[in-house]
Structure 1
Amino acid sequence: MSYYAAFGDRLPLWAEIDEAWYFEQKPDLRGEILAQGFTDLSHYHEAVGAAAGLSPNPYFDEGWYRAKYPEVREAIKEGVFSSGFEHYCQEGFRIRSPHWLFSEEQYRWSYTGYDDAWLEAHGYPNGYAHFLSNTVSLTLTGSPFFDPFVTRAWFQSQSSPDQAGRHPYLNALNPSIGTVGEPRLSWFFDPDWYLAKYPEVAQAIAEKLFQSALHHYLTNDTPERFDPLPQFSESAYREAYPDVVPALRGGIFRNAYEHFLRHGAYEGRRPDTETDLGPWIVRFRQLGPMADREADHPFRQWMRAQFAPVGETHGAVELDERETRMLFLEEAEQCADIALRGRLDFTCHGEPDISVILVMRNQFALTMQALASLRANYDGPIEVIIVDSGSSDLSGQIENHVDGLHVMRFPYNIGFLLGANEALPRVRSAFCLYLNNDIKLFPNAVANALHRLQSSEDIGAVGAKIIRSHMRLQEAGSIIWRDGASYGYRRQDDPNIGEANFVRDVDYCSAAFLMVRTEDARQLGGFDPKFAPAYFEDTDFCLRMLKSGKRIVYDPSVAVEHMESGSFGLTDSHDWIQINHRVFFNRHRQLLLAKPPPHVRNAVLGREQKRGRETVLVIEDRLPVRRLGSGYVRSNEVVRAMSALGYQVSVFPMMDKANDPADLVHDFPDDVELLTDWHLDRFTSFIEERAGYYDILWICRTHNLSRLLPIVTEHGRYLPMKRVILDTEVIDTPRRFEKARILGAPKIKGSMAELIGDELASSHFCQQIVAVSADEAKMVRDAGYEHVSILGHALEPDPTQRPFQERHHFLFVGALYAEDTPNFDSLKWLIEEVFPHLHAMIDDPPLLTIAGYMDPDLDIKAWRELPYVRCVGPVRDLKALYDSHRVFVAPTRYAGGLPYKVHEAASFGIPIVATDLLARQVGWKNDVALLSAMAGDPRAFARQMVSLYYDAEIWHRVRLEALAAVTNDCDPNDFKARVEEILTRSLAISQI
Structure 2
Amino acid sequence: MSTEEMQSEKTGARAAATDRAPVWSVFDEAWYLRTYPEVPEWMEREHIPSAQDFYTEIGQRYGHSPNPFFDENWYRQVYPDIYRSIARNEVQSGFAHYRAEGCHDRDPHWLFSESAYRWAHPALTDARLAEQGFANGYDHFLAVGALGFSKPHAFFDASLCEDITFRHDAAFNGRSLFSGYLSADAAVADSGRVSWYFDPVWYLQTYPDVAQEIAEGVYRSALHHYLTNDTPRLFDPQPFFSEAHYAEQNPDVMPSITEGHFRNGYEHFVGFGACEGRTPAPGVDLRSYAAQPRVRADIEDGLYPDAYAHYVARQVGGAGFGLSGTQYPMDTAPPDEAATRAMFVREAEALLPGLIRRPAAFHTSGVPEISVIVVVHDQLALTMMALASLRANYGGNIELLLVNSGSHDDSRHFETLVPGARVLNYRYNLGYLEGCNAALKLARAPAVLLLNNDLRLYPGAIAHMLRRLHADPTIGAVGSKLIRTNMRLQEAGSIIWRDGATYGYRREDDPGVTEANFVRDVDYSSAACLLVRADLMRALGGYDPTYRPAYFEDADLCLRLTKRGARIVYEPLAVVEHLEFGSSGSVGSQTLIRTNHRVFARQHADFLRHQQPAHVRNAVLARGRRGAGRRILYIEDRLPLRALGSGYVRSNDVVREMAALGHQVTVFPVLPRRVDVVTLYRDFPETVELIADRSLADFAEFLQDRAGYYDLVWIGRVHNMARLLPIMNEMSRYLPPGGAVLDTEVVATPRTLRRAEVLGLPMPAESMDELLRLELESAHFCQRIVAVTEADAALIRRAGYDNVSTLGHLAHVMPTPRPFAERSDILFIGALHDEGSPNHDALLWFVQGVLPLLDGMLAPGVKVRIAGFLHPSVDPGPLGLHARVELLGPVDDLEPLYDAHRVFIAPTRFAGGLPFKLHEAAAYGLPAVATDLLIGQLGWQPDREIVSGGNGNPLAFAQAVARLHDDPALWETIREGAIFAVSQDCAPERFRETLSEILESCMV
Normalising by structure 1, report the TM-score. Answer: 0.86
207 and 888 in structure 1: CA distance in 2 versus 1, 3 angstrom threshold: farther
- Equivalence for 2:431: 415
Contact 1:301-1:315 within 8 A present in 2 as well: no
Q: Distance in 1 between matches of 2:857 and 2:121?
A: 40
- Equivalence for 1:229: 238
Contact 2:164-2:188 within 8 A present in 1 as well: no
Is 2:996 aligned against 1:980? yes
Is 2:918 aligned against 1:909? no
Q: Distance in 1 between matches of 2:530 and 2:916?
A: 44
Is 2:285 aligned against 1:269? no
Q: Distance in 2 between matches of 1:905 and 1:482?
A: 54
How far apart are 1:689 and its partner, in Å?
A: 0.5
Paired residue for 2:464, among 436, 448, 459?
Answer: 448
6 and 791 in structure 1: CA distance in 2 versus 1, 3 angstrom threshold: same
- Equivalence for 2:682: 666
924 and 270 in structure 1: CA distance in 2 versus 1, 3 angstrom threshold: same
198 and 289 in structure 1: CA distance in 2 versus 1, 3 angstrom threshold: closer
Q: Distance in 1 between matches of 2:182 and 2:21?
A: 13
Contact 1:187-1:303 within 8 A present in 2 as well: yes
How far apart are 1:210 and its partner, in Å?
A: 4.6
- Equivalence for 1:615: 631
- SS of 1:846's equivalent? coil
- For residues 832-887 of structure 1, the C-alpha deviation after alignment (integer angstroms, 9 at most, x for no partner) is 22223223445637322111223333334243232121111122222222222111
Note the 1:312-351 alignment, pairs <5 A.
316=330, 318=333, 319-337=335-353, 339=355, 343-351=359-367
Contact 1:115-1:874 within 8 A present in 2 as well: no
- SS of 2:731's equivalent? helix
Q: Distance in 2 between matches of 1:280 and 1:637?
A: 35
Q: Distance in 1 between matches of 2:279 and 2:969?
A: 63
931 and 835 in structure 1: CA distance in 2 versus 1, 3 angstrom threshold: same
Structure 2 residue runs of 5 or longer lacking an equivalent are 1-9, 41-54, 323-327
- For residues 257-282 of structure 1, the C-alpha deviation after alignment (integer angstroms, 9 at most, x for no partner) is 45545654454432112212355233
AA aligned to 2:554 is D
Note the 1:858-873 alignment, pairs <5 A.
858-873=874-889
Paired residue for 1:202, among 211, 220, 224?
Answer: 211
Contact 1:477-1:607 within 8 A present in 2 as well: yes
Q: Distance in 2 between matches of 1:106 and 1:331?
A: 50
- SS of 2:811's equivalent? coil
Q: Distance in 2 between matches of 1:652 and 1:608?
A: 19
Q: Distance in 2 between matches of 1:165 and 1:315?
A: 38
239 and 71 in structure 1: CA distance in 2 versus 1, 3 angstrom threshold: closer
AA aligned to 1:588 is H
How far apart are 1:122 and its partner, in Å?
A: 14
Note the 1:673-712 alignment, pairs <5 A.
673-712=689-728
Note the 1:731-746 alignment, pairs <5 A.
731-746=747-762
AA aligned to 1:699 is I
AA aligned to 1:717 is R
Q: Distance in 2 between matches of 1:290 and 1:565?
A: 39
How far apart are 1:359 and its partner, in Å?
A: 2.6
Q: Distance in 2 between matches of 1:474 and 1:421?
A: 25
Contact 2:17-2:133 within 8 A present in 1 as well: no
- For residues 915-967 of structure 1, the C-alpha deviation after alignment (integer angstroms, 9 at most, x for no partner) is 11000011112212111133231111111111111111111111111111100
- SS of 2:984's equivalent? helix
Q: How many residues of Structure 1 are paired with residues of Structure 2 in the alignment?
A: 970
- SS of 1:872's equivalent? strand
Worse-matched range after superposition: 464-473 or 417-426: 417-426
385 and 745 in structure 1: CA distance in 2 versus 1, 3 angstrom threshold: same
Q: Distance in 1 between matches of 2:218 and 2:536?
A: 81
- For residues 775-807 of structure 1, the C-alpha deviation after alignment (integer angstroms, 9 at most, x for no partner) is 110111111111111111000111112221222
Structure 1 residue runs of 5 or longer lacking an equivalent are 33-44
Paired residue for 1:529, among 532, 541, 545?
Answer: 545
Q: Name the % identity.
A: 45
Q: Distance in 1 between matches of 2:679 and 2:97?
A: 40
Q: Distance in 2 between matches of 1:462 and 1:421?
A: 19
Q: Distance in 2 between matches of 1:370 and 1:129?
A: 54
Q: Distance in 2 between matches of 1:18 and 1:384?
A: 73
Normalising by structure 2, report the TM-score. Answer: 0.85
Q: Distance in 1 between matches of 2:180 and 2:455?
A: 44
Q: Distance in 2 between matches of 1:109 and 1:590?
A: 66
AA aligned to 2:463 is A
- Equivalence for 2:837: 821
Is 2:602 aligned against 1:593? no
- Equivalence for 2:781: 765
Q: Distance in 1 between matches of 2:204 and 2:728?
A: 54
AA aligned to 1:654 is V
180 and 585 in structure 1: CA distance in 2 versus 1, 3 angstrom threshold: same
- SS of 2:491's equivalent? strand
Q: Distance in 2 between matches of 1:80 and 1:963?
A: 61
- Equivalence for 1:37: none
Q: Distance in 2 between matches of 1:117 and 1:545?
A: 66
- Equivalence for 1:751: 767
Is 2:520 aligned against 1:511? no
- For residues 352-406 of structure 1, the C-alpha deviation after alignment (integer angstroms, 9 at most, x for no partner) is 3333222333333333332333333333333333333333444444554554433
AA aligned to 1:382 is I
Note the 1:882-901 alignment, pairs <5 A.
882-901=898-917
- SS of 1:942's equivalent? helix
AA aligned to 1:292 is D
- Equivalence for 1:460: 476
Q: Distance in 2 between matches of 1:383 and 1:271?
A: 65
- Equivalence for 2:517: 501
AA aligned to 1:563 is L
Q: Distance in 1 between matches of 2:773 and 2:767?
A: 10
Q: Distance in 2 between matches of 1:660 and 1:826?
A: 29
- Equivalence for 1:192: 201
Contact 2:631-2:665 within 8 A present in 1 as well: yes
Worse-matched range after superposition: 934-943 or 208-217: 208-217
Contact 2:125-2:885 within 8 A present in 1 as well: no
Contact 2:469-2:475 within 8 A present in 1 as well: yes
Q: Distance in 1 between matches of 2:237 and 2:576?
A: 46
651 and 843 in structure 1: CA distance in 2 versus 1, 3 angstrom threshold: closer
Worse-matched range after superposition: 655-664 or 943-952: 655-664
- Equivalence for 2:43: none
Worse-matched range after superposition: 128-137 or 912-921: 128-137
Paired residue for 1:944, among 955, 960, 974?
Answer: 960
258 and 363 in structure 1: CA distance in 2 versus 1, 3 angstrom threshold: farther
Worse-matched range after superposition: 175-184 or 567-576: 175-184
Q: Distance in 1 between matches of 2:484 and 2:217?
A: 57
Q: Distance in 1 between matches of 2:648 and 2:970?
A: 32
Contact 1:893-1:935 within 8 A present in 2 as well: yes
400 and 295 in structure 1: CA distance in 2 versus 1, 3 angstrom threshold: farther
AA aligned to 1:377 is N
Q: Distance in 1 between matches of 2:746 and 2:80?
A: 42
- Equivalence for 1:36: none
Is 2:390 aligned against 1:374? yes
- Equivalence for 1:539: 555
- For residues 146-181 of structure 1, the C-alpha deviation after alignment (integer angstroms, 9 at most, x for no partner) is 56775566776x598999999987886777999795
- For residues 324-375 of structure 1, the C-alpha deviation after alignment (integer angstroms, 9 at most, x for no partner) is 2233333334444554565434444444333322233333333333233333
Worse-matched range after superposition: 532-541 or 388-397: 388-397
Contact 1:284-1:298 within 8 A present in 2 as well: no
AA aligned to 1:792 is G
Is 2:378 aligned against 1:362? yes
How far apart are 1:814 and its partner, in Å?
A: 1.9
- SS of 2:574's equivalent? strand
Indicate the RMSD between aligned Cα atoms, in angstroms: 4.6
130 and 574 in structure 1: CA distance in 2 versus 1, 3 angstrom threshold: farther
AA aligned to 2:293 is F
AA aligned to 2:282 is T
Contact 2:123-2:886 within 8 A present in 1 as well: no
AA aligned to 2:371 is S
937 and 10 in structure 1: CA distance in 2 versus 1, 3 angstrom threshold: closer
